[in-house]
Amino acid sequence: MELRKADPAVAIDMLLIVHSEKRRAAHGSHPERPADAPAPRRAGLQGVVGNGIRRWQKFEGDELHGTQLTVEVHPRDTMPQLLKKFSLAKRLQGDKNGNTRPRQPGGKDALAYPWDRSSLKSMALDLQQFEKLDTYASQVAVKSGLDELVSDLLQEAHSDLERVRAIWIWICHHIEYDVQAVQEKDRQAFKPTEILRTQKTNCDGYAGLFEKMCRIAGVQCMTVPGYSKGFGYQVGQSFSGEFDHAWNAVFLDGRWHLVDSTWGSGLVDSATSKFTFLYNEFYFLTHPALFIEDHFPDNKNWQLLKPPQSLRQFEDNMYHKSEFYNKGMLSAHPDVAMIRTVNGKTTITLESCAPTLFMFMLNGKQEHGLLSLKKNGMKLDVFPPAVGTHKLQIFAKGDSDVYSSVLEYTLKCNYADLGARLPSELHQPVGPSWFSEKMGIVKPSHPDPVIHTTDGRCCVSFGVEEGVSVLASLHGDDGPVTEETQRRYIFQLQREKRTELKVQLPHAGKFALKIFVKKQQEPGNYVFVFNYLVCCSNTKVSWPVFPESFGNWGQGNELLEPLSGVLPANRDVPFKLKLHGVAKALVKGQDTWPLTLNRDGYWEGSCSTEGCQEVYVMVLENANHNFYSYILKYQVNGQ
């Protein structure tokens, strides 16, 4: 029952539960919480901090014992606690239009589960239509009380949807999550008048303020308590005891819709306990099939789903963070959070609605994985380095300049494949993709990210758009590949509009062949685009470096011999190479040996390495000049 008076109101909410004498005798009149009952959870703000929600204690089955009488006296602008908890109790408080008993959700409010990928929202929205309203609502200041604030907000709102939007935007941009009030369990922080004064509260205050403002605006709104996968959530954990979060349902266009202004407003850093306003559009009129991933209401009807999900399903289902959908993700496989490796390997694929950049971290490091970009998604092969449990995080960039965590897995590895060890310098992504094409590299000779070679040599080529320069380097974890020689195991040739990379591995093993580009009209350094994983198991492989080439090693030039950048001492070494646009060519060691142009267009000759440590190939580009330029440099083995 509810006793109501005129302003200021006093409400007395009473619930009387009567059991038979036999049942009371069996259970006693004043049961206490069992000693082994689970401790209350607190997780109200998404992924960051607990919320100090009011204690809506669960009463189910045998938990209802004896006779219970609850009397609550509170100011007009607060809401009764206990009535919310019971599905049999309906809200009696009316809105300013005199609407009492907001309709409980029914079949026509429910949307199909699982998500049909049609929209992130529960109703058709064009967010651009809110641009002017959002700007206005975010700048409205509190002048006096709540009624005047709502009245000011509604100046630019002309429908129930716009009224709800204006209230949502104002709360998300003005109300700070109050970590201190949560820790001190300050119930004053729940009151709308106190929230307006301090502009701080917790999730219960957010939900209560949102409901109160909607009702002043003439929109039906309910506060929904429940469980959430927020701060402190661990994959696979169970939920029990008091509820840890609260959000809202609003009645628009004849149906109920879900919002969470707490999680829409920002984040609290768990290390510093500092709140940062970081608006999250995802939690405004969220599609129920997505909302259920991290919100489980006390009453299954407030899931707004058909079929509704059980608490066990909520606990077991894969949790996709809001950024998963904000960044345009559609699905992930596997769709369970706990996965096991098979023969030391596991594979994860993500599907996105548009080309997206990804990265990953295994135990906080970008190692032990091959991430390949697909046209609409990515594929990731992970090789955990040791037996045990590993944390795998996947990040996506989307339309922003910042990578955000979109998915998290727990990997169980019972066997570590040491033979699958990858070079530490192997960065992501591997293999050419839509991104490398965007950066000016097209039609690669090797579309796959892994290149296997039996003799330690390979030749990679790709088209290069006009105005784009390419740079490559080779990286391994051991052997003679040093920073000085990273590019000397690659010899780069330019043929018309294609770049060719001749690669000779210094020894057997796995190497990262990194590809960098620079657009000539843009300032700055070369930018990493992708790399290949080059593998060779032949232990007899032992190739020396290529000769060092200089900047004027021109387009169309070709080196046939000698390919080794280290020449034997005291030998006559033959030279053969194709050079374009030169008048003369020579080889300089202790002495100078000219090269002659044959009928096939190759410059040929020989040079003695006696008495010298370095040998140069030099060219005269104009017959009228007498200045020769260095184009190749060889080392000579010690005497």
- Beta-carbon contacts of 562 under 8 Å, excluding residues fewer than 6 positions away, are 547, 573, 574, 575, 634
Element housing 184 (H / E):
helix 179-184
Identify residue 535 by its one-letter amino acid code.
Answer: C
Instruction: Convert 448-467 into a string of H (helix), E (strand) and C (coil).
Output: CCEEECCCCEEEEEEEECCC
**Look-up of token digits 């142009």:** 597
How many Cβ atoms are within 10 Å of 623's Cβ, its own excluded?
Answer: 9
Structure-block tokens of residue 238:
């169970």
**Look-up of token digits 């941009």:** 173
Structure-block tokens of residue 438:
């965007």
Q: Whats the size of the chain, residue-wise?
A: 639
Structure-block tokens of residue 523:
């300032």
Q: Is the dihedral of CA 347, 353, 359, 361 positive or negative?
A: negative
What CA–CA distance (Å, rounded) separates 616 from 168? Answer: 72
Structure-block tokens of residue 192:
């709308």
Residue 554, CA distances (Å) to 471, 485, 488, 550, 558 in order: 14, 21, 17, 9, 9
- Beta-carbon contacts of 32 under 8 Å, excluding residues fewer than 6 positions away, are none
Provide the b/e sequence for 469-497 (b: ≥16 CB within 10 Å).
ebbbbbbbeeeebeeebbbbbbbebbeee
353: left (phi over 0), alpha (psi -120 to 50) or beta: alpha
Burial class (CB in 10 A: 0-12, 13-18, 19+), 439: buried
- Residue 342 DSSP label: B
Identify residue 445 by its one-letter amino acid code.
Answer: S
Assign 228 to helix, strand or coil.
strand
Identify residue 9 by its one-letter amino acid code.
Answer: A
Identify residue 272 by its one-letter amino acid code.
Answer: T
Exactly one of 203, 458, 536, 612 is catalytic; name it: 203
What CA–CA distance (Å, rounded) separates 23 from 585? Answer: 108
Exactly one of 77, 134, 244, 260 is catalytic; name it: 260
Q: Are strands 346-352 and 377-382 parallel, antiparallel or unpaired?
A: antiparallel
Residue 231, CA distances (Å) to 42, 241, 270, 624 in order: 8, 17, 8, 76
What CA–CA distance (Å, rounded) separates 507 from 474? Answer: 12
Q: Is the dihedral of CA 157, 163, 168, 170 positive or negative?
A: positive
Nearest to 491 by CA among 549, 577, 556, 573: 549
Instruction: Give bridge partners of residue 261 from the DSSP assignment.
Output: none
* 203 catalytic residue (yes or no): yes
What CA–CA distance (Å, rounded) separates 444 from 461? Answer: 6
- Residue 103 DSSP label: P
CA 159 to chain centre: 35
Nearest to 472 by CA among 541, 547, 532: 532
Structure-block tokens of residue 66:
């004896």
Contact 508, 536 (CB under 8 A): yes
What CA–CA distance (Å, rounded) separates 52 from 143? Answer: 28
* 245 catalytic residue (yes or no): yes
Could you give the residue numbers annotated as active site?
203, 245, 260
